[in-house]
Amino acid sequence: MHGRPRKASKPEEEAASAAKAVKLRSLQSQFMKNHHDKIYTEEAIELSTKLLEINPEAYTAWNYRKLAVEDSLSRIDSDPNLVNSILDEELRVVESALRQNFKSYGAWHHRKWVLSKGHSSIAHELKLLDKFQRLDSRNFHAWNYRRFVVELTKRSEQDELQYTDDMINNNFSNYSAWHNRSVLLSSLLAQNADGFMPNERIPDEYDLVHSAIFTDPDDQSGWFYHLWLLDQTLNVETPLLTSSWPSHGSTIILSGAGCLNGSSSKFTTFCSESGSFPLILYFDQAVGGVSSSTVTIDSELKGNEDLVWEPISYKNSQVSCVWVTHLKYVSTDLCEYKVKIRVGNSPGIVSSRGHNFRAPYEFVFTAHVHDTVKDSQEGIVSWTDGFDIWDAKSKDLNSLITLDQLQAEIDFKWRQEAIDSEVECFGILSDSKIGKLTLARLLMAREAMVSDDAVKGVRYEEILQLYNDLMALDSSHYQYYKDEHSVAFLHKMTSSSESLSRHLFRYRGMNNLVCLRLNNLSLSRIASVEKLLFVQMLDLSHNELHSTEGLEAMQLLSCLNLSHNRIRSFSALDSLRHVKQLKVLDVSHNHIGKHSVDTTRYLCSSPLSNSEWSQDDVGRQNPGLVTKYWDAYFVLRDLNLKQLDIAGNEISGNEFSSFVLQVVPKLVWLDGQKLGN
Amino acid sequence: MIDLPPYPPLDPSNYDLIIVGTGVSESVLAAAASSSGSSVLHLDPNPFYGSHFASLSLPDLTSFLHSNSFSSPPPPSSPPLPPSNNHDFISVDLVNRSLYSSVEISSFESEILEEHSRRFNVDLCGPRVVFCADESINLMLKSGANNYVEFKSIDASFVGDSSGELRNVPDSRAAIFKDKSLTLLEKNQLMKFFKLVQSHLASSTENDDTTTVKISEEDMESPFVDFLTKMRLPPKIKSIILYAIAMLDYDQDNMETCRHLLKTKEGIDRMALYIISMGRFSNALGALIYPIYGQGELPQAFCRRAAVKGCIYVLRMPITALLLDKETGGYKGISKMKLSVFLSQRRLINKRKVARGICVIRGSVKADVSNALIVYPPKSLFPEQLTAIRVLQLGSGLAVCPADMHVLYLSTLCDNDDQGIKSLLSAMSNLIRLPDPENHQSDSVVENDTCEAKPILLWRALYVQELVKGEFGGTISSMPSPDGNLNNNEIVESALKLYEQLMGSEELFKEETSVENTTEENDDGVDIED
C-alpha cells in the first residue's frame, strides 16, 4: 500500500516474529528434504502449503508444487474432475498466499502457471482481481495478471479500456491504470479499430490527461502518460528520408588529391585521393535494408553498378539513421554529370520497428569533375585565420529546405493541431519544473513541425529561456537541461539559412573548405547533424562537449576542432572512427586521461580478449603501451590523421606521443610540430 | 384530541434530572446523563420521539405543523391547577410556544398519497444530513447509539443557478479531475487551495513539522471571503467553497445583508469537517450520510441508549406547569432535582427564522441520482436572494417515501416569512414542475421543452420556523430549536455544554468507550449501506 508510514514493531511483536522464524526454519528444512527426495505424498504437499501460507516468497516451494502437480497429473489419466480438483487446490493455496502478501512474485507466477494448465472458472479470476485491485488499485502484479487473464478470456480491449477509465476516475494517481491504458490504446490505434483513429482519439486522451495534470501537477502519473501521448503524436511510424548529401539540385565539384585553390566558392568542392565521394542518406529513424536494390542511381559516372551501402552506426548494428556509399569518379575526364537517386523504389527499407519506407523519394545533383594538378603540399591547418565570410547565395543550404518538403508530403495536420493546442494549454502551467520542461518539449516539437517560414523558429528563444530557468531551478538535473539547451540552440541555428550562414565560413587554406564555427557556445551535445552533412570543417572548440556522438554522420568532415571541451577519454571519440575523411583533429585541452577510472572502459570487453589488435604490428611490438592506451589505440588506428593536437590533456607526454606516432605513422603534424620523416 | 387513559403512577417519583421533549439535544443529554449513573425521567407531550426533529407520516406532519403554528387556535388548556398559595410551592404555567408560521400545505394528488401515506417518513427539521466526521457520529460511536441506526450515502452534491443546470460540487481530488464544467486552470487553482488547507490542517496536528505550508495568523483572522480572493480563486470557485463546502448561509460579498461574516479560521474549520468527512468511512461515497427512516432516527437512537441505561420514558405526557419552591425557586422535593425544558420563551435570536419546504415529487431532479444535496448560493436564483438555499433530495432507498417518488427538503434563513417563502418557491420552480400553471404563465413558453424532464410536484408543505437558542443556568434550562444548519453539530454541542454544567467534568459515555474500543477494532462502527 502507498503512503503508509512504517511503524516500529513492539517487543511482543518482535517475540512473535522470532517464534515464527523458528517455526519457519523447521518447516523449511523438512520441506527441503522432501523436495530433495522428490516426495510428493499428501503430507509432503501439505507441508509446502503450510510453508507458503507463512512465507509466500519461498520460491523453491512454488517450484516444488509445480513438480508435485505434474507428478499427480501424470498419475490420474486426465480425468477432468480430478484434474480440476488438483488445480483448484493450487489456486486456493495461491489465493491464501496472496492474502498474506499480494505482491509475491512467486505466488502470482504460480497462478499463471496453474491457469496455463487448465482452469475451471476464469470468471472467478476477474472477481479475485477486482478484490485485490480494490485493496490496492495500483498493485502492478494484479495489473500484470489482469492482462494475462484478459488475454485468456478474450475480453475486448474496449472493455478493458473502460475499466482503466473507472480506475482513473476513482483515483487518477494510478500509474498502473494509465500504463494499461497506453498498452490498450497502442493496440487499438495500431489496429485502426472503430473509433480509434489516432487523429480523433489522441486529442481526447489529451483532454483526459490534462484534467489529471492540472488538478494535481505534483502527481507523476499524468505527466508520464502525457509523455507517452506526446510520443504518439510525434512518432510517424513510417520511416522518412530527412536529408541527403549531396542534396537535391546541388552542384558539387570533384577533384583529385590536393585540390586547386581558389575554385568557385559557390559549391562544395570535394577532394579525394581515392577517386570516390560519399553519398549520404539520413533517415528520421534507424532503418535497415538500404542497398543497391532499394536505392537506384542513374548517372554517367562509371563503375558504380554494385554499390555497397554501409550503415553508420555507433554500435555495430545493421540498422542506422545514416547510410553511406561511395561513388567512384575518374578525375581525368573533365566533365559534368547529372546523378539521379531514387530511394525506396522497390521495397526493402524497413525501420527497426518493422515499418516499411513508403514514400519513395527522388533527387538529382550535378557533379563537376575537375582534373587537378597534383600538389602534395601539406601545410598545417590553422583554426585562427584563413577564413572567408560565407556567400549567402550558396546552394549548399538547400539541404535545409529539402527536409521540409519531405515532411509536407505526409499528413501532419492533426499532429500539428494537437501540439498547438498543447502549447497553448501548458503555457499557463509553466510555474512548475515539469510544466516548464513539458512546455519546452512541446515547443521543440512544434518548431520541428512548422513549415511556414514566417513563423518558423520564433519560439526558440522561449525554449532556450525555459531550459535556462530549469538549469537554475533544478541543479540535480542540470546536465540534462544543458544538453537539451544545446539541442535547442542547434535546432535554432539550423532553422534558417540566415542563422546558419552566420556560422559558416570558407577556409582558404584548404581549397575553400566549408567551415562551420560553433566555438564558445557552451554546447554540451551535438544535434541537427542531418542539416549539416555538407560541412567539411567544424570548429567546436571552447564548448562543454563530453562526446562526439552524432558527428559520425558528417562524412565530409576533414577537419575537427574539439579543443577546450570536456572529453574524458578516447572512447568518447569513438564515433569519429566512421569519419573516414578526417585528416585534422584537435582535442587539445580536454580531460583525456584525467580520470583514472573511465566508466566507459568497464562497459567494453577487455581489450586483451580482442584478437584483432594482437595480430597488429603495433600490438605485437609494444603490447604494454597498447594495453595502457587501448582506447586511444582503437580510435586512432582507424583514422587517417595528418594533424593531431593532443596537448593540454593529462594523457599527453612523451610516452603517449611516441605511441601515437607508432599508431598513426602518416601523421605530419603533432601538437603543432612538423614531424620529420 | 383523544382522551387518553390516566397514566399509572411513576415509580420512583424522584429523579436527578427530568427532561421534557425528545429532540436531538434532549436525547443526547438523556443518554449521557443515564450513562453516567443519574436517574433520568424523559417526557414528551407527543406520541412520537424526536419533537421538532421527528420524522413523520404526511398526515402526522400536517397536524403537528398546524398544532404548533401561530395561526392555529391555542391548544385546549388543561384544567387550571388549584390555587397554590396554601402550599409551600408556586405553580408556573408552561405555554408551549408555537414555532411555526405561514404554514401552507397543499396536496395535488391526494389519492396516490393517501394510498401510500404510511410509507412516508418526512423530517420536520429538513434539509438535514450528517457529516461523516460530525460530532453526533462521534457521540453515537462513543455511546453505542450507532447500533440502532443505519446510514446511506448522499450520492452527489450540486450547485444550482437560475439556468436550471445543476453542476457537481468538485469537493475531492477525484471530483475535480472528473468535473467537466471547470476549466483546467480552475481545476488547478481549486486543488491547490484544497492542498493548502490540507497542509495547514496537517501542520496543526503535527506541530513540529516546519516544512508544511501553514496559513498565517493574520489571514486566519481575516474574512474567509477575502482570503479566498487573496488566493486568487475565481468567483465561481469561491462560491462553491463558501456555500457548497463551507455551507454558509449569508452572502459573504454583501456586507449590508451578511449577518455572519465568516473568518478564515472558521472557514478552514468548516472545510476541515468536510475534508475529514470525505475520508472517514471507506464505504461512504462522499462527506454526507443520511439515516435510513429519516432524521427522527437520531434522537430515537440516543433515547434507546438512554433507556438501556435506565432512563424512564413517558410519551404523550403534556407538561403544563412547573411547581417551584417558594423560598429557593427550586423544585419541591429532592434538592438535587434539575429540570431541563425544551424551548425558552424569552430568547428569540433577533427574530431570525428559517423557511422550510417539503415537496413530494414523482421523478428526480437529476437523472440517475437519487439522494443529492443542491445548494443555490446567494443571488444565484434572483438578485435579491440574500441567503443560500439548500435543497436535499431523498429517495425510497432511505425508506422515507414510496418507490418512484422523492422527498425534497428546502430551507433558507430569512428575516420575514414572505422573504423566505419567496426564495423557496423560486428554488422549487427551478427544480420541479409546479402544478399550478397560473402563477407561471410568463415562464411556461420558455420552459416548455425542459418541462418534460422536470419532476412533478405531488404534495407540498411550506412553513417558517423560528430559531430559538438554548438557555442554561439555574435549575431550569432550555434547549435550542432545530437550527438553520445542515447538520446537528451546534445542537449536539449545546447538549454537551449543558451536560458539563450538570455533571461537571465527568467523562462522557466513559463506560461505553472502553467496551467499544476493544470489541470492534476493525469495524468503522457506523453502518453505511452501499
pLDDT in tens, A137-154: 888 888 988 988 888 888
pLDDT in tens, chain B (530 residues): 455 566 666 666 778 888 888 999 999 999 999 998 888 888 888 999 999 999 999 999 999 999 888 754 444 444 444 444 445 556 666 656 678 989 999 998 888 888 888 889 999 998 999 999 999 999 999 888 999 999 999 999 999 999 988 999 999 899 999 998 899 999 999 999 999 998 898 887 765 555 667 888 889 999 999 999 999 899 999 999 999 999 999 999 888 888 888 999 999 999 999 999 988 888 888 899 999 999 999 999 999 999 999 999 988 877 766 666 555 544 443 333 444 444 434 444 456 899 999 999 999 999 889 999 999 999 999 999 999 999 999 999 999 999 989 999 999 999 889 999 999 999 999 999 876 555 444 444 444 444 457 899 999 999 999 888 877 766 677 888 899 999 999 999 989 988 888 887 777 887 554 444 433 333 467 787 76
- Amino acid residing at A216: D
* A210: chain B residues, CB-CB within 8 Å: 184
* B191: chain A residues, CB-CB within 8 Å: 214-216
pLDDT in tens, A347-375: 889 988 888 888 788 888 888 887 655 45
Instruction: Please give the Cα distance from A380 to A672 (Å, whole number).
Output: 8
**Closest alpha carbon within chain B to A429:** B185
Q: Which pLDDT does position B115 carry in this prediction?
A: 85
| pLDDT range class, residue A131, cuts 50, 70, 90 | confident
**Closest alpha carbon within chain B to A171:** B174
**Closest alpha carbon within chain B to A206:** B184
Give A654-672 as a DSSP string. Answer: HHHHHHHHHH-TT--EETT
User: A interface mutation test: which of B168, B171, B172, B177 has the most A CBs within 10 A?
Assistant: B177
Check pLDDT > 50 for residue A394.
yes
Check pLDDT > 70 for residue A72.
yes
Partner-chain contact B185 A212, CB within 8 Å: no
* B185: chain A residues, CB-CB within 8 Å: 214, 428
CA distance A428 to chain B (A): 8
**Closest alpha carbon within chain B to A425:** B184
* B176: chain A residues, CB-CB within 8 Å: 211, 215
CA distance B406 to chain A (A): 28
Using alpha carbons only, what angle is made at residue B248 by residues B287 and B370, rounded to the nearest 5 degrees?
Answer: 40
Instruction: Please give the Cα distance from A271 to A279 (Å, whole number).
Output: 14
Partner-chain contact A215 B188, CB within 8 Å: yes
**Residue of A210, A215, A428 with shortest CB distance to B173:** A215
Instruction: Please give the Cα distance from A139 to A125 (Å, whole number).
Output: 16
Q: Which pLDDT does position A564 carry in this prediction?
A: 96
**Closest alpha carbon within chain A to B177:** A211
Partner-chain contact A211 B185, CB within 8 Å: no
Check pLDDT > 80 for residue A90.
yes
| pLDDT range class, residue A428, cuts 50, 70, 90 | confident
Q: Which pLDDT does position B84 carry in this prediction?
A: 44
Specify the 3-state DSSP secondary structure of A425: helix
Partner-chain contact A211 B184, CB within 8 Å: yes
User: A interface mutation test: which of B168, B171, B184, B278 has the most A CBs within 10 A?
Assistant: B184
Q: Which three cell numbers mark A189?
A: 490505434
User: B interface mutation test: which of A137, A171, A215 has the most B CBs within 10 A?
Assistant: A215
**Closest alpha carbon within chain A to B183:** A211
Instruction: Please give the Cα distance from B130 to B290 (Å, whole number).
Output: 6
Using the Cβ of B175 and the Cβ atoms of chain A, whether some distance falls under 8 Å is answered with: no
Using the Cβ of B2 and the Cβ atoms of chain A, whether some distance falls under 8 Å is answered with: no
Partner-chain contact B174 A171, CB within 8 Å: yes
pLDDT in tens, A195-214: 888 888 899 999 999 999 99
pLDDT in tens, A24-36: 888 889 999 988 9
3-state helix, strand, coil in chain B (%, to 5): 35, 25, 40
Q: Which three cell numbers mark B14?
A: 424522584
- Amino acid residing at A238: T
A-facing residues of B in 188-217 (CB < 8 A) are 188, 191, 195
Q: Which pLDDT does position B56 carry in this prediction?
A: 94
Check pLDDT > 60 for residue A456.
yes
* B195: chain A residues, CB-CB within 8 Å: 216
Partner-chain contact B178 A169, CB within 8 Å: yes
Share of chain A above pLDDT 70, in %: 87
Q: Which residues of A touch B (CB under 8 A)?
A: 169-172, 210-212, 214-217, 425, 428-429
Contact yes or no for A518/A540 (Cβ under 8 A): yes
Facing residues of A603 across strands?
Answer: none
**Closest alpha carbon within chain A to B173:** A215
CA distance B271 to chain A (A): 18
* A212: chain B residues, CB-CB within 8 Å: 177
Instruction: Please give the Cα distance from A370 to A335 (Å, whole number).
Output: 7
Partner-chain contact B173 A425, CB within 8 Å: no
Specify the 3-state DSSP secondary structure of B73: coil
Size of chain A, expressed as the number of residues it contains = 677
Contact yes or no for A320/A347 (Cβ under 8 A): no
More confident residue, A633 or A609: A633
CA distance B177 to chain A (A): 5
Instruction: Please give the Cα distance from A53 to A47 (Å, whole number).
Output: 10
Task: Identify the H or E element spanning B392.
Answer: strand B389-395
**Closest alpha carbon within chain A to B195:** A216
The pTM is what? 0.80
Strands A295-299, A335-343: pairing kind: antiparallel
* A208: chain B residues, CB-CB within 8 Å: none
Partner-chain contact A169 B177, CB within 8 Å: yes
Cα dihedral: B517, B523, B529, B530 (round 10) = 150
Partner-chain contact B184 A172, CB within 8 Å: no
Using the Cβ of B185 and the Cβ atoms of chain A, whether some distance falls under 8 Å is answered with: yes
* B530: chain A residues, CB-CB within 8 Å: none
B52-63: b (≥16 Cβ within 10 Å) or e: bbbbbbbebbbe
Q: Which pLDDT does position A332 carry in this prediction?
A: 62
For A279, phi then psi, to 5°, come to -120, 120
Partner-chain contact B173 A169, CB within 8 Å: no
User: B interface mutation test: which of A210, A214, A430 has the most B CBs within 10 A?
Assistant: A214
Check pLDDT > 60 for residue A599.
no
Partner-chain contact A217 B188, CB within 8 Å: yes
Instruction: Please give the Cα distance from B173 to B187 (Å, whole number).
Output: 9
Using the Cβ of B78 and the Cβ atoms of chain A, whether some distance falls under 8 Å is answered with: no
Contact yes or no for B32/B143 (Cβ under 8 A): yes
More confident residue, A481 or B95: A481
Partner-chain contact A211 B173, CB within 8 Å: no
Q: Which pLDDT does position A675 carry in this prediction?
A: 85
Partner-chain contact A216 B174, CB within 8 Å: no
* B184: chain A residues, CB-CB within 8 Å: 210-211, 214, 425, 428-429
Interface A-B: count of C-beta contacts within 8 A: 37
**Residue of A211, A425, A429 with shortest CB distance to B177:** A211
* B178: chain A residues, CB-CB within 8 Å: 169, 211
Instruction: Please give the Cα distance from B358 to B89 (Å, whole number).
Output: 45
Facing residues of B118 across strands?
Answer: none
**Residue of A169, A171, A214 with shortest CB distance to B184:** A214
Using the Cβ of B176 and the Cβ atoms of chain A, whether some distance falls under 8 Å is answered with: yes
Q: Which of B404, B391, B398, B424 is nearest to B364 (CA)?
A: B404
